[in-house]
């Protein structure tokens, strides 16, 4: 008699847009070690920072929802920061040093003071979980995968209402709405605990501006399928570090201005330009930039149309396919290094990488 051939139960892989797809897009090998292999980064500075600011905004919104006022008094901010810090510590994430913690707390305070009063009244839903099953084509790959993500905030306002015109977020959205859009729409908001990425000038490297746009557009696509969703007209990326940039951030901006990589620059001759060109202030001081300029740098509106949504989701399908192909290659070759080959070409990713000593193609110095 002939034995049956064993078929393992099929499982549909699930990939989150941030934890999996964006990480893989940065560097496949780093993703393999950190995410699949469960080897944490030695200095997860960015991870802690991003989660801290997200946590502060989420907790503050819950309180705003409860009381109707933004908790931006120093005593409230300190208490919220302390609570969020403890929550993160319970998951194993801690600020690596006191300076980082102080920077984060300062930023949190500025975000609550300068951004939250404009944003919180617009919020319809917070922390919205989105999932969808999507096709994966490729020999030997699963037929489908599940795409998952959590939208920070969905706003729902009558975008062309005049009384909202003074709101800088609404104004920015209105200026960038796709042609022909009117009435009540949803806008998907994603917080980024980072600075605004510059325009990518090199042919290689990861264009973070594009990837973040794709992420928002994909959220819009997934959101559009939910039963309680209204039409999604735009996405809003909020680069929170821009609301309270450090002197190092300004140095970075100066370099980008010099190379033409900065898409939002201070007006020539303005006080903001002078401040950007100041090399460094007193120890412990923060650059003094106008709220208008900081908001301009922080806000990026992404118009949403069916074709841009469709294109973005396809880009992410491509990354998911590459992850599955890498997994399959590893199962066949038994080699991690030979299987996760979309190595980073970005110096900053590689400089901070814990595994550059083992990487066949480390970028940077």
Nearest CA among 130, 267, 107 for reference residue 188: 130
Residue 288 as a binder of other proteins (CB under 8 A): the answer is no
Query: Stretches 8-16, 154-162, 269-277, 284-292: which one binds other proteins (CB under 8 A)?
Result: 8-16
CA distances 346 to 6, 62, 336, Å, are: 43, 37, 20
Cα–Cα distances in Å, from 280 out to 179, 203, 255, 257, 295? 43, 33, 14, 17, 22
d(CA 92, CA 209) in angstroms, rounded, equals: 30
Q: Is 282 in the site for other proteins (CB under 8 A)?
A: no
Query: Which region, judged by CB under 8 A, interacts with other proteins, from 61-69, 114-122, 169-177, 293-301?
Result: 61-69
Considering the complex, state which of residue 8 and residue 166 has its C-beta at the smaller distance from other proteins. Answer: 8
What residues numbered 24-53 form the site for other proteins, per CB under 8 A? 33, 36-40, 42-43
Cα 359–chain centre separation: 26
State the nearest-atom distance from the C-beta of 339 to other proteins, in Å: 9
Q: From the CB of residue 59, how many other CB atoms can be counted at a distance below 10 Å?
A: 17
Interface with other proteins, residue 328, by CB under 8 A: no
Q: Does 73 bind other proteins (CB under 8 A)?
A: no
The answer to whether 136 and 142 are in contact (CB under 8 A) is: yes
State which residue, 152 or 272, has the beta carbon closest to other proteins.
152
Phi, psi angles (nearest 5°) of residue 200? -75, 120
131 near other proteins, judged by CB under 8 A: yes
- 19 vs 205, which CB is nearer to other proteins? 19
Structural element, H or E, at residue 236: strand 232-239
CA pair distance 345, 30, nearest whole angstrom: 12
Indicate whether 83 belongs to the interface with other proteins (CB under 8 A).
Answer: yes
* 98 near other proteins, judged by CB under 8 A: no
Contact status: 357 vs other proteins (CB under 8 A): yes
Regarding 66 and contact with other proteins (CB under 8 A), the answer is yes
Q: Which one, 42 or 285, has the nearer CB to other proteins?
A: 42
Cβ distance to other proteins smaller for residue 22 or 95: 95
Q: In this structure, are strands 123-135 and 144-158 parallel, antiparallel, or unpaired?
A: antiparallel
- Among positions 220-259, residues that touch other proteins (CB under 8 A) are 225-227
Using the rule CB under 8 A, is 101 a contact of other proteins?
no
Which of residues 256 and 325 has its CB atom nearest to other proteins in the complex?
325
Torsion of CA 164, 168, 173, 176, to 10 degrees: 120
Q: Please check whether residue 118 is in contact with residue 94, taking contact to mean a CB–CB distance below 8 angstroms.
A: no
Calpha distance 316→308 (Å, rounded)? 12
By the criterion CB under 8 A, which residues form the site for other proteins?
1-6, 8-12, 14, 33, 36-40, 42-43, 59, 62-63, 65-66, 83, 86-87, 89-92, 94, 127, 131-133, 143-144, 146, 225-227, 330-331, 334-338, 354-355, 357-358
């Amino acid at each position: 008699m002939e034995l049956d051939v064993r078929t393992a139960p099929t499982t549909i892989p699930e990939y989150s847009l941030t934890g999996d797809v964006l990480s893989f897009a940065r560097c496949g090998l780093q993703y393999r070690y950190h995410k699949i292999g469960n080897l944490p980064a030695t200095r997860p500075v960015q991870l802690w920072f991003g989660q801290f600011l997200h946590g502060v905004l989420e907790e503050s919104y819950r309180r705003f929802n409860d009381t109707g006022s933004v908790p931006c008094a120093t005593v409230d901010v300190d208490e919220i920061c302390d609570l969020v810090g403890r929550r993160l510590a319970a998951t194993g994430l801690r600020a690596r040093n006191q300076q980082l913690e102080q920077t984060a707390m300062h930023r949190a305070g500025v975000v609550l003071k300068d951004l939250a009063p404009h944003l919180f009244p617009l919020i319809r839903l917070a922390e919205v979980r989105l999932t969808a099953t999507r096709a994966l084509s490729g020999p030997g790959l699963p037929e489908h995968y599940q795409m998952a993500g959590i939208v920070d905030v969905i706003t729902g306002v009558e975008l062309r209402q005049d009384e909202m015109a003074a709101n800088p977020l609404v104004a920015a959205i209105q200026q960038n709405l796709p042609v022909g859009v009117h009435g009540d729409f949803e806008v998907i908001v994603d917080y980024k605990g980072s600075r605004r990425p510059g325009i990518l000038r090199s042919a290689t490297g990861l264009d973070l501006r594009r990837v973040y746009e794709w992420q928002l557009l994909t959220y819009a696509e997934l959101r559009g399928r939910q039963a309680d969703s209204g039409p999604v007209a735009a996405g809003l990326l909020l680069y929170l570090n821009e609301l309270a940039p450090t002197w190092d951030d300004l140095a970075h901006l100066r370099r980008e201005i010099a190379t033409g990589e900065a898409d939002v620059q201070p007006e020539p001759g303005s006080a903001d330009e002078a401040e950007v060109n100041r090399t460094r202030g007193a120890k412990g001081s923060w650059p003094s930039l106008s709220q208008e300029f900081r908001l301009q740098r922080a806000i990026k509106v992404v118009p949403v149309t069916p074709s841009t949504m469709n294109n973005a989701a396809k880009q992410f399908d491509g990354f998911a396919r590459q992850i599955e192909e890498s997994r399959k290659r590893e199962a066949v070759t038994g080699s991690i290094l030979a299987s996760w080959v979309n190595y980073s070409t970005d110096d900053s990713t590689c400089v901070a990488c814990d595994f550059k000593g083992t990487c066949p193609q480390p970028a940077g110095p």
